Amino acid sequence: MRLYLDHNAAAPLRPEAREAMLPWLGPAANPSSAHREGARARTALEDARAAVAALIGARPADVVFTSGATEANNLALRGAMVGRRIVTSAVEHASVLTTAGALAAAGASLAVVDVDAEARVAPADVATAVAGRPALVSVGLANGEVGTIAPVADVAAALAGTGAVLHTDAAQAAGRVPVDVGTLGVHLLSLSSHKMGGPAGAGALWVCAGTALAAQATGGPQERERRAGTENVAALVGFGAAARIAAATLTETAARTEALTARLWAGLRARVPNVIRNGPSDGPRLPNTLNVTFPGCAGESLLVLLDLAGVAASLGSACAAGAPEPSHVLLAMGRERASARNGLRLSVGPDTTDADVARVLDLLPRLVAQVRGGRAA
């Protein structure tokens, strides 16, 4: 039986989400239509919106449904940056960094703030980068590669009185750690369905009341004219169901996954010489995420051997043309390029068991020794 340890890439669809979606997978009415079928679809859509809003302590009216966190990040940056300087950190998701870069190429002012060796940005550095100008600041709440939780509330405090608009990508955080928009003090917050066990192709952007946001998809009144286009009712109903179960089980799941990753790290440290943990050694971090480097062990070789042995994991960076590029997150943390290519991410989920961890601890040290011994390409 295969073992799935790549929940930060995509969490398996929750049974509750699958069941909720089934009635909406056949022919369904447009939720903007005025007839009875349209009204049923609209009710299902708004129920889902309420569930997503409840997960983050928000009003349903302030939740804009999108096709995922990538679109939500694009909508936040492109929709709120007009006339503003963009400030972000060096460890953001590509959908933030690439979008910010494209806006800079089109003439926007951009500042990318460095992070420390644990991938954490300093609020004072963010405030300095704003440089007294109207700014849109984007700092991700949790890093999906190494698990660092950013001090977003402290960033908000440091920006108080500057007029800056603060966005956070909470795709990796929501459903794994408590997220409350009021406590964070942000103006915009992005979410992803498939990170919390909903279907792919659904997400949301929370927009604080009074925050100006220019729609990027136009041509219809949907989503209160912030994002035109007929909503994907089935996917969004699944998103809502996943949000409900994530909220109901958050405390229990966080405790379980934290114990599993702690056991996994302790076992690797005891059984594999010179293993390095990437990310916070303590303090705020995602409970389900462990990123490790084994010096002298090519990450891509280890990943292939794990896959052949029935374990799905990931490197800290995507692969291009079969050759892994160094992780921009590990590079920003000060790792050498060779080391930044070899970060292995193990991300567990609600259904991961102690037996799964025991299986990895039996297998992984032997595979590391094999690669280090030169018996793998």
The tally of CA atoms less than 13 A away on the side-chain side of residue 157 is 9
Which of 221, 245, 269 finishes a domain?
245
Instruction: Please indicate whether residue 107 or residue 29 has the higher confidence score (pLDDT).
Output: 107
Mean pLDDT across the stretch 88-109?
97
Q: Is the pLDDT of residue 377 over 50?
A: no
Q: What average pLDDT score do residues 81-97 get? A: 95
Q: What pLDDT does residue 324 have?
A: 61
Tell whether 105 is covered by a domain: yes
For residues 185 and 43, membership in a common domain is answered with: yes
Q: What is the pLDDT of residue 317?
A: 52
**Alpha-carbon dihedral 363, 364, 369, 370, rounded to 10 degrees:** 70
Q: How many Cα atoms sit within 13 Å of 310 on the Cβ side?
A: 7
Task: Note whether residue 180 is domain-resident.
Answer: yes
Averaged over 167-188, what is the pLDDT?
Answer: 98
Residue with tokens 């960076």: 317
Q: Is the pTM of this model over 0.85?
A: yes
Is 319 known to be catalytic? yes
Residues 121, 270 share a domain: no
Q: What is the mean pLDDT of residues 116-134?
A: 96
Please give the structure tokens belonging to residue 199.
């279907």
* Average pLDDT rounded to a whole number, residues 273-295: 94
Give 254 or 281, the one with higher predicted confidence.
254
Is the per-residue pLDDT at 264 higher than 80?
yes
What's the mean pLDDT in 69-87? 96
Together in a domain, 210 and 286: no
pLDDT of residue 29: 86
Domain boundary among 245, 264, 281: 245
Q: Indicate if the pLDDT at residue 318 is higher than 60.
A: no
Q: Which of the listed residues 245, 273, 289 is the one where a domain comes to its end?
A: 245
CATH of the domain at 311: 3.90.1150.10
Residue 120 placed within a domain? yes
17 with 196: CB under 8 angstroms?
no
Q: What is the pLDDT of residue 230?
A: 94
Q: What is the mean pLDDT of residues 185-208?
A: 98
The rounded distance, in Å, linking the Cα atoms of 119 and 135 is 22
Tell whether 167 and 58 lie within a shared domain: yes
Please state the domain count of the chain.
2
Same domain, 192 and 299: no
pLDDT per residue as tens digits for the range 232-258: 999 999 999 999 999 999 999 999 999
Residues 232 and 274 in one domain: no
For position 246, what pLDDT does the model report?
98
Task: Name the amino acid, one letter, at 122.
Answer: A
On whether both 255 and 239 belong to a single domain, the answer is no
Q: Are residues 223 and 361 in the same domain?
A: no
Q: Is residue 377 part of a domain?
A: no
Model pLDDT, residue 281: 82
Q: Is residue 233 part of a domain?
A: yes
Of these residues, 157, 214, 255, 319, which one is catalytic?
319
CATH, residue 144: 3.40.640.10
Residues 226, 192 share a domain: yes
Task: Report percent pLDDT > 70 for the chain.
Answer: 97
Residue 369, C-beta contacts closer than 8 angstroms, at least 6 positions apart: none
* 288 inside domain: yes
Q: What is the pLDDT of residue 376?
A: 41
Are residue 96 and residue 192 in the same domain, yes or no?
A: yes
What residues make up the domain containing 263?
A: 3-9+250-372
Q: Is the pLDDT of residue 211 over 90?
A: yes
Q: How many CB atoms lie within 10 A of CB 375?
A: 10
Supply the pLDDT for residue 54.
Answer: 98
Q: Tell me whether residue 54 is exposed, middle or buried, using C-beta atoms within 10 angstroms of its C-beta: 0 to 12, 13 to 18, 19 or more.
A: middle
Which of 58-62, 128-132, 322-326 shows the highest mean pLDDT?
58-62
Q: Are 229 and 354 in the same domain?
A: no
pLDDT higher than 60, residue 31 = yes
Please check whether residues 278 and 235 belong to one and the same domain: no
> How many Å apart are CA 124 and CA 23, to the nearest integer?
50
At residue 190, φ and ψ (nearest 5 deg) are -100, 145
Rg from Cα positions in the chain: 21
